Structure 1
Amino acid sequence: MVTLAAILGTLFPGDVPQRTAAAPPGQEPLPDIEIEPELQNQLMSDGDSGYLIYFREYPDLSLAYDMNWEARGRFVVNALQQAAARTQKNVRTYLDAQGTGYTAYWIDNVIVVDSSSMNTFNGLMSFSEIAALRARRNPILYEPVESAVSTCSPDAIESNITHIGADQIWALGYTGEGIIVANIDTGVRYTHQALVNQYRGNLGGGSFDHNYNWWDPALGGSDPVPNDWHSHGSHTMGIILGDDGAGNQIGMAPGAQWIACQAFEGDDSELLECGQFMAAPWDLDQQNADSDLRPHVVNNSWGDCLQYADHWYDGVITSWHALGIYPVFSNGNAGSQCGYPYPPGLNTVGNPARAGNVTGVGSTGRDNGQYATHSNWGPTDYLDTVNPRGYPDLKPQILAPGVSIRSAYKSSDTAYGTMSGTSMSSPHVTGLVALMWSAAPCLVGDYAATETIIEETATPIPYDDGIGGGAHVPNYATGWGEINALAAVQSAMEACGGFTFGPDSIINTAPNAVVTHTFTLSNLGLADTYTLTLTGGGWPAALLTATPLAVGAGDSAQVAVRVDVPDLEGSDTFTVTAQSWGEPVDVISVTGTTQASIVAGLELTPPSQAHTGNPGDIVTHTYTLTNTGNYTDTCDLVLSGNIWVTGLVGSAAVELSAGASAQVDVEVDIPPQVASVIIASDMFTLTATSRDNGSETANATSTTFTGVNPGAGLSGNQTGAGLIGTQVSYEFTVTNAGDYTDTFGLTVTGAWTAALSADSSGELPPGGSTIVTLTVDVPPDAGDGELGLVTLTAASGLDAGVQTIATASTAAEWYKFYLMLILR
């Protein structure tokens, strides 16, 4: 890959130029206070302006990375608050004396000035603790490039979720439990059916506590209930974890919990305040901040349209890293909002996704795994110093589905809609981090290791980003590729030495039976031992697997539970819990449900048949009777509808265990007085009835002909050849070789896949014929000269025992194909 340095001159104008302020009369400016030209110009033009005051001191937080979650949060927040209080004190005293409105933050050592005069601004030049004065920012919500209200109510998991394998992680027993996610967005409709159960403020029973779980910087405590003014925030949160428990499975990590901070009704100060709320959420009075309640991962589907690095939010992101909070940002979209074409081309990624220490996310289609042309490209001039993996200027890092994504809408508790954009892609990654950290707790707070796993397990999407070398990976359009959730979680568990146990088991059976539930315990780490505990359930049950259970590194073992089902209908559920001995201790529980009910079922095959014979012959019709129910049943056999003497061979009562089959023969006596020159026939019906359930029956019919001499004819065997991966066709002639109108059933068998143009000859008069086409698929992995034999069978409709066959032998060729290319 061509690096940023090679194309810097043509792509980037560089950082925003910074200079010192012009000296006020009688005062020399401090030469190292950086001032943005835009701010200086605005003050000179308008006489007053708002601005951002950045301070020099930022505490050393390196010790935090070795602390546990609670200690880490308290250490970082305390250090940030102390640094801000100490270094902002003099400036705040000065601003207060000037009567200037402002808001001070500690998440980054910054003060946001609402508006001040040029004189007040110039007075700040005397404060050596100030590092920079910058203009106010107005980041934008990355609006969807398409959106629509959804009226359908699917009863399956959304295809964007299954496409990247999140549902397969749920089957392993991990849905994000124990992980708190958050978004800084337009708010969240907390009562929405797909979100309410996952809201951390839901106390159950219709009660809610919004303290520490919701904040609106614009309205503060006067807006005490989570809400959404746009739908964007509800939609992104739904993609992270949405699930209503009744068919609307729209989210990646439905077992996680969420909190939220509402922004984009104002300006940069809202985003700084939301960033601080994430570090240590506070109550609805904005008091009693508690870092223990911070989220693990924050989704940010917002940014700007700048084509150079803007560092205004750096302090927030750096503090999040120290706190162990994983930052995910959308890359931004093509279209009218930023004026980029489709695809947008190089150097279109916005800030803060442009930052080297965040995971920048682009888009693929809903479920096709292909680059979506609305997704903005890198490279970035804000180089990655945390986890570069050899490509420090790479953006995006990763892609996720972002086209026509169905999720929650704000208009009602049951409203859903589709949106397209990178705003929809980043929540997939946020949900994936939640799944990874839930399944692999040793990774919690480890940004670099987590991002590396996500990138290494991604499905590559080669793409030509125009820098030379054709389609390649990674690249500035598709990064390392599309997230593969299952592979990422499995790799995370291997890194932490976790295990999987499951899936849950459901067995349907008859009463008074013994069933065995089986579960798979897979050890993803070093050799470990597991304690197995069987609990719950009212029916007699026993753990058949010895406990403790030792499982080698990377090995799997089966855990079996026997249930003695009583002689009654009903359902019973037990739980098996596996607890690892090794560190870290992990506990996973699975359930086994036994459902006992009497299910009767009978089947007679074939459902109809025909045979022929001469006057005075005894013709035998053979059937297979199968008990498709779940218990041993006795079936009574009855013949009806016949004129000729017809009888069962053997008993008229057959006892069959569940799933068992028996042969039933019926003999028909063709009357000797029927003249052989006269075509005659007789039909009977065979009925099997369950003694335990008289409404359960199976029927089959059969016809006996006399005075008929059926005959089947097929043209001869054929041979052919075809290139591997292609099809070869053969034509066969089916002939009625009998003396009466007949229809011939056609079937094909063989090692290679083959198909017929029709499964029947249609009605043919004596001597009549028709042509059928047989198509044989030559396997793409067949060896040169390998033969595939396929057999075509034609069977008389008058007598199933009258059949004829023909074969098609196909030779695979592949050397000939390459030879032709060489000769050309």
Structure 2
Amino acid sequence: LAQTVEPAASDQSKIAPTLADALRTSPGDISFLVILSEQMNPQQVVAAAGAEDIVAKRAALYAALTEHVRRTQAPLRAWLDAQGVSYTAHYLVNMLEVRGDLALAQRLAQRPEIGRLVHNPLVRGFEVFDVSRPSWLRQEALSASPASAASATLPWGLIDTNADDVWALGFRGQGIVVAGQDTGVAWDHPALQRAYRGWNPTTMTATHPYNWFDAWGRDPNLDRGCPVDPQIPCDDDLRSSHGTHTLGTIVGDATGMGDTVIGMAPDAVWMACRNMRNGFGTPASYIACFEFFLAPYPQGGDPMTDGRPELAPHIINNSWGCPPQEGCDVESLRQVVETMRAAGIFVVASAGNEGPDCSTVKNPIGLHDAVTSVGAHASNGAIAWFSSRGPVTVDGSGRLKPDLTAPGVGVRSAGRLSNGQPTVNLTLSGTSMAAPHVAGAVALLWSLEPGLIGKVEETEQILLDSAVAVPSAECLSGTPQSPNPVYGYGRLDVLRAAQLVLGDRVAIAVEAFPPEGGVLTGGGVVAPGSPVTVTAAAAPGYTFVNWTEGGVEVSTEPLYAFTAQENRRLTANFRPPLWLPVISRQGGVR
């Protein structure tokens, strides 16, 4: 595109310095983001919606955001079409991703609706460590053994956070959807498949649309570790199975492999998005995954019109970072996570692995106030040397980060061996491993008290108030104190958080056996002395048998009424349909 008029200085200032440098030095076109001046305030949209129901609020937000960008982007998109410039439109931030040269950027900067132009660099999204090596040698920890070599004990992080004690109350994440945006996920891993939202255990089939999205699509040369169809989930991290590992810490259950539960919330279900290709992501790929999560849509669909906000996850884990020094735009990612918070979606992020220096929590999205940022501690409770410290100074805020710490050293979870076989003995270290513990903890709390769902600020405060304080003077002047820029408010303790939620109330948990045997209603958190009625409706083909507690029958009626006096964990038992062989006309059994 020819540049016939010298751009004004004010127009030139719209081009971020990192983008200007990249455009000047690149031999060809590069990817950059065209961010419009007119942006919506998501908090105002949600407040104006006036709906109490979180799904209704989310739907109102999606409708407002998409209508706004279609209207305000229309002249710009028409101009780009006329110039023959391809683009991808986004709505969480009112922006378009384009590929072009310096001349195109200068012409765009002259347009009055443009606020700024920023780089869309390809950056390394994560780092995991072998903590047995010197601190200057940062490498991947790949201590793995075949799945048959069962550990026999829960991963230490589940015990450290007292997740197993919350399970004992009868709450294991049931009814909660957790999402991970990462390197992808091995969806058919035996420790994860059962919990995949797209999996139907009755028909033994999977439905991937609305449950999985690949922000990169598929390239036959760059994505050789994945199926050709981008609608089929995959984890392209063949070295550390990063996305599979992090999701395993949230929902993994390897009891079917002869091992143990490996995830904080094994009865939650998951969905996922691949935001990195071979461990590298861009601001646009990260934002694309957030857009998929706010309103899931099929691969190849239009995020502006095909989104279904009622299918959004409750919680999103983010074990990645986007360094501003490499060109990542802090403001657009801040806007995205603030929008997700306004939508009532709990966003968890790794604090980063740039410790032990102070003020090393400096990369989006871990630096932002709208996310719960997680540092890493070891099994002895000590902070990991690599865990990034606060306070946040890169934006001048002095904000306390991380918010809290969780197990992040020598974390055992799901992955693949070099021969492609599944394992649950893949041990990795990093704040990437710590964040999923917190995501799983939120799933436990929201399954315990559904009234908290969507109340992000209240839930976050419960986590902070219940954390085990660890006084420290590091990165502070004076005596040890808590909270501090090393541990934040302390080490994650989900049992203490659950006890805060309960207060003087009691928990009535209900579960079906087998899980697909029927639909249950009733239970929850109630005051002592309250009347409680629980009901069990058998699924087609199944028959209700009885209610039991601790293996002891308490009722043979589908409707069971009682007065709550203490915590109870009730199981509705169903008899599965009898399987009878049918002789086909060819004489075989089918």
TM-score normalised per structure 2:
0.78
Residue 256 of structure 1, aligned match among 239, 264, 268: 268
Query: How far is the alpha carbon of 1:500 from its aligned partner?
Result: 1.0
The yes-or-no answer on 1:185 pairing with 2:182 is: yes
- How many residues are paired up? 510
How far off is 1:222 after superposition? 2.6
Matched, 1:353 2:335: no
Contact 1:176 1:434 (C-alpha < 8 Å) held by counterparts:
yes
CA contact (8 A) 1:344 1:373 kept: no
| Superimposed CA distance per residue, residues 344-401 of structure 1 (whole angstroms, 9 cap, x where no aligned partner) | 3333443210112111110011x322211121111114779xxxxxx96101001000
Q: Check 1:222–1:560 CA distance in 2 against 1; reply closer, same or farther (3 A cut).
A: closer
CA shift for structure 1 position 197: 0.5
Q: Secondary structure at the match of 1:219?
A: coil
Aligned to 2:508: 501
Deviation at 1:123, TM superposition (A): 1.7
Which residue is equivalent to 2:577? Answer: none
Q: Deviation per CA, 1:557-599, whole angstroms, max 9, x where unpaired?
A: xx999869xxxxxxx9998856899xxxxx9860399xxxxxx
SS in 2 for 1:42: helix
Q: CA 1:498 to 1:59, structure 2 compared with 1: closer, same or farther past 3 Å?
A: farther
Match of 2:91 in 1: 106
Deviations 1:41-94 (A, max 9, x none): 333344754321111222243352553122112111111111111111111122
Instruction: Write the distance in 1 (CA, Å) between the matches of 2:447 and 2:534.
Output: 22
Deviation at 1:26, TM superposition (A): 5.5
Counterpart of 1:227 (choices 228, 231, 234) is 234
Tell whether 2:406 aligns with 1:408: no
What do residues 596-650 of structure 1 show as CA deviations (whole Å, max 9, x unaligned)? xxxxxxxxxxxxxxxxxxxxxxxxxxxxxxxxxxxxxxxxxxxxxxxxxxxxxxx
The match for 1:312 among 323, 332, 343 is 332
Instruction: Tell me whether 325-334 or 54-63 shows the greater mean CA deviation.
Output: 54-63
Alignment of 1:260-279 (within 5 A): 260-265=272-277, 267-279=282-294
Residues 390, 401 of structure 2: 8 Å contact kept: yes
Are residues 1:129 and 2:141 paired? no
**CA 1:528/1:109 → structure 2, altered by over 3 Å: closer, same or farther?**
farther
| DSSP-derived class of the 1:50 partner | strand
Corresponding residue of 1:717: none
Partner of 1:443: 452
CA distance in 2: counterparts of 1:125 and 1:540, whole angstroms: 70
Whole-Å separation in 1 of the counterparts to 2:79 and 2:296: 29
CA contact (8 A) 1:348 1:378 kept: yes
Give the 3 Å change call, closer, same or farther, for CA 382–42 of structure 1 in structure 2.
closer
CA shift, 1:523, in A, is 9.3
Select the structure with the greater relative contact order (CA < 8 A; seq sep ≥ 6): 2
Q: Is residue 50 of structure 1 aligned with residue 31 of structure 2?
A: yes
Amino acid at match of 1:254: P
Are residue 591 (structure 1) and residue 571 (structure 2) matched?
yes
Contact 2:448–2:524, Cα closer than 8 Å, also in 1: no
Match of residue 301, structure 1, among 292, 316, 319: 319
Asked whether the equivalents of residues 144 and 423 of structure 2 are also in contact (C-alpha less than 8 Å), the reply is no
Contact 1:400–1:426, Cα closer than 8 Å, also in 2:
yes
Distance, in Å, in 1 between the alignment partners of 2:26 and 2:344 is 42
- State the one-letter code of the partner of 2:289: C
Aligned partner of 1:90 in structure 2 is 75
Q: Name the structure 1 match of 2:194.
A: 197
Structure 1 residue 427 and structure 2 residue 436: aligned?
A: yes
Deviation at 1:99, TM superposition (A): 1.9
Match of 2:581 in 1: none
Which residue is equivalent to 2:532?
Answer: 531
Rounded Cα–Cα distance in structure 1 between residues aligned with 2:282 and 2:559: 52
Cα distance change on mapping 1:245 and 1:85 into 2, 3 Å: same
* Structure-2 residue corresponding to 1:290: 308
Aligned equivalents of 1:90, 1:284: Cα separation in 2: 27
Pairwise mapping of residues 378-389 of structure 1 onto structure 2 (< 5 A)?
378-381=390-393
CA distance in 1, matches of 2:377, 2:164: 19
Instruction: State the partner residue of 1:173.
Output: 170
C-alpha displacement of 1:126: 3.2
Selected match of 1:478 from 462, 465, 487? 487
Q: Secondary structure at the match of 2:330?
A: coil
Amino acid at match of 1:279: L
Mapped contact 2:547–2:556 kept (Cα < 8 A): no
Amino acid at match of 1:137: P
Partner of 2:582: none
Show CA shifts across 1:207-257 (max 9, x none).
111010111122268322111111000000000010133432110001110
Task: Please give the alpha-carbon distance, in whole angstroms, between the structure 2 residues aligned to 1:41 and 1:302.
Answer: 25
SS at match of 2:189: coil
Aligned twin of 1:330: 350
Amino acid at match of 1:267: T
What's the CA shift for 1:499? Answer: 3.3
Aligned counterparts of 1:383 and 1:402: Cα–Cα separation in 2: 26
CA distance in 2, matches of 1:405, 1:117: 45
- Paired AA for residue 452 in structure 2: L
Question: Is there any run of 5+ residues in structure 1 with no aligned partner, and where?
Answer: 1-22, 335-339, 385-390, 505-520, 544-558, 565-571, 582-586, 594-824
Q: Cα 1:522–1:68, aligned 2, differ >3 Å: closer, same or farther?
A: closer
Tell me the residue number matched to 2:207: 209
154-163 vs 225-234, which deviates more?
Answer: 154-163
> Which one is further off, 438-447 or 283-292?
283-292
Spell out, residue by residue over 1:736-763, the C-alpha distance to the aligned partner (whole angstroms, 9 max, x if none). xxxxxxxxxxxxxxxxxxxxxxxxxxxx
1:149 paired with 2:183, answer no
What code does the residue aligned with 1:248 have?
T
Letter in 2 for 1:25: V
Q: Distance in 2 between matches of 1:429 and 1:579?
A: 34
Unpaired segments ≥5 residues, structure 2: 131-140, 219-227, 512-521, 574-590
* Whole-angstrom CA distance in 1 between matches of 2:125 and 2:562: 45
Q: For 2:376, what is the secondary structure of its paired residue? A: strand
Alignment of 1:548-587 (within 5 A): none
How far apart are the structure 2 equivalents of 1:218 and 1:344? 34
CA contact (8 A) 1:347 1:377 kept: yes
Supply the distance in 1 between the matched residues of 2:361 and 2:271 (Cα, whole angstroms). Answer: 31
For the 8 Å contact 1:171–1:503, the answer to whether it is kept is no
1:396-449 CA deviation, whole Å, 9 max, x = no partner?
001000011110003323453100110000000010111111111122112211
In the alignment, which residue of structure 1 is the partner of 2:403?
397
Whichever structure has more helix as a proportion of its residues is 2
Partner amino acid, structure 1, of 2:321: G
CA contact (8 A) 1:192 1:413 kept: yes
1:238 maps to 2:248: yes
User: Which amino acid in structure 1 is aligned with residue 371 of structure 2?
Assistant: V
Structure number having the greater strand percentage: 1
Secondary structure at 2:179 match in 1: strand
Q: Aligned to 2:287, what secondary structure does the other structure show?
A: helix
For 1:393 and 1:51, how far apart are their aligned partners in 2? 29
Question: Counterpart of 1:173 in structure 2: which amino acid?
Answer: G
What pairs with 1:8-47 in structure 2 (closer than 5 Å)? 25=5, 28=8, 30=10, 34-46=14-26
2 CA distance for matches of 1:273 and 1:263? 8
- Distance between the aligned counterparts of 2:23 and 2:399, measured in 1? 35
Letter of the 1:232 counterpart: H
CA distance in 2, matches of 1:80, 1:302: 26
Q: Aligned partners of 2:547 and 2:264: how far apart in 1?
A: 36
Q: Partner letter of residue 76 of structure 1? A: L
- The structure whose Rg is larger is 1
Distance (whole Å) between structure 2 residues aligned to residue 539 and residue 222 of structure 1: 41
CA contact (8 A) 2:317 2:439 kept: yes
Q: Map 1:566-715; keep pairs closer than 5 Å.
A: 590-591=570-571
Q: Does 1:71 align with 2:56?
A: yes
Q: Distance in 1 between matches of 2:546 and 2:366?
A: 55
Q: CA deviation at 1:501?
A: 3.1
